[in-house]
Amino acid sequence: MAERARSRGNEGPEHVFFSPHPDDVALGAYASLLGVPRGIVPTLVTVFSQSCWEFVLPVDPSRAMAVTSLRMGEDRRFARAHGADLVHLGFRDTSLRSPPGGPAEPEEARAALASRVLLALDEVLASVSEDAVCYVPLGISSHVDHLLVRDAVRALRGERGVVYYEDLPYSAHHPEDEIVDYAWALGLSPRCVDMTALWPAKLRGLSFYASQLEPRTLPAVEAHARRLGAGRGLCERVWTVAP
């Protein structure tokens, strides 16, 4: 399902944000979204848009329709408020495939899912120019949904125009040296974006996803931003292939 914000301009390359779940771009790539040049319509691609996760165990799969509708509505309102096109690919997230406390997802099922995700993202990228900038999760904490999205885009695009944003709130719970070593092992170099003046805007952006934020999420995200700011403010960090 796609929702288009307005006509596309010709002011530069497209900016496509790949979000495993509806809130991931707002959490980890908000500065990059706000930094899209004027006149360019960003595209948000939410891959795993079906869910029954409500921060309560055991999960209740019968709640999937209600939870999914709520999350998709939040995503639509966020996209409209930020002048972005929105694409929902409709895959089931881990709460429906292998809920916490349940059996692990079989390797065969995960491999089949990876193939379907690859095909779906190939269709998305088929309509995107060669010089488009593609934002994907870095993969901190190895959340399977995040890795499936990251690895599919890398397989389809190589490293051409790919920007890796840090997975939040997961990054906040890892020591800095672990994050750096993980990214360097992928051949990536960091770039910090000052968010100090934009922090109120980021909080407003995150407020669109109220159903997806635990009480501890925002403090963790801010703590990570302050850690990156090293006493000089608040930052988000993205990673690109080292020159």
pLDDT in tens, 144-194: 999 999 999 999 999 889 999 999 999 999 999 999 999 999 999 999 999
> Across residues 33-42, what is the average pLDDT?
96
Per-residue pLDDT at 6 exceeds 60: no
42 confidence band (pLDDT: 50, 70, 90): very high
Using alpha carbons, list the distances in angstroms from residue 234 to 33, 58, 128, 231, 240: 16, 36, 32, 8, 20
Write down the pLDDT at residue 102: 81
Give the per-residue pLDDT at 1.
63
Give CATH superfamily name and number for 2-241.
Answer: LmbE-like (3.40.50.10320)
What integer best gives the mean pLDDT of the chain? Answer: 94
**pLDDT band at 100, cuts 50/70/90?**
confident
Residue 114, C-beta contacts closer than 8 angstroms, at least 6 positions apart = 148, 151, 152
The pTM is what?
A: 0.94
Band (9; pLDDT cuts 50, 70, 90): low
Q: Pick from 171, 165, 160: which is nearest to 193 by CA? A: 165
- pLDDT per residue as tens digits for the range 17-30: 999 999 999 999 99
Tell me whether the omega of the peptide bond preceding residue 137 falls within 30 degrees of 0, making it cis: no
Q: What are phi and psi of 169, to 5 degrees?
A: -85, 5
What is the residue extent of each domain of the chain? Answer: 2-241
Rounded to the nearest angstrom, the gap between the alpha carbon of residue 157 and the centroid of all alpha carbons in its chain is 17
Angle between helices 144-157 and 107-126 (to 10 degrees): 50
**Residue-wise pLDDT tens digits, 209-229:** 999 999 999 999 999 999 999
User: What's phi and psi for 135, nearest 5 deg?
Assistant: -105, 125
